[in-house]
Amino acid sequence: MGLSTKQQEFTRCVSQLVNFATAQGYGLTFGDAYRDKRAHGDFGSKYGYSAASSVHKKRLAVDLNLFVDDKYITDGGCEEYLMLGNAWERMHSDARWGGRFNDANHFSFEYKGFK
């Protein structure tokens, strides 16, 4: 699968996740999505706060801020994030949830071994 096709599939899955969260009564806002190389360097290079091989740089990751009853949830181990993470991972074989590596609001597709 080419990068553009993978990015499009990622975007479709993100929309499904947003719809799923909304159906559960949760609110979401976007955090980081695309990390432009002018501010974060090319994929594989460290610049700014972004990891060198962040899949945000490939348009394959988004950070979603979770709200339950209008309260911003910062506890990545909560049942709501776990529900979203599990739903995300079921959507696609490349789907990775950051809660598995202490970054609960991170939803991505694996790219060349990076998540």
Domain range summary for the chain, segments of one domain joined by +: 3-109
Supply the DSSP symbol for 43: T
Architecture of the domain defined by 3-109: 2-Layer Sandwich (3.30)
pLDDT, position 52 = 55
Contact 21, 13 (CB under 8 A): no
pLDDT, position 20 = 98
pLDDT tens sequence across 49-91: 667 568 988 999 999 999 999 999 988 889 999 999 999 999 9
Question: What 3 state SS string does 71-115 have?
Answer: EECCCCCCHHHHHHHHHHHHHCCCEEEHHHHCCCCEEEECECCEC
- Which of 78-81's residues contact partners 24+ apart within 8 Å by CB, and which partners? 80/24, 80/26, 81/105
pLDDT tens sequence across 12-27: 999 999 999 999 999 9
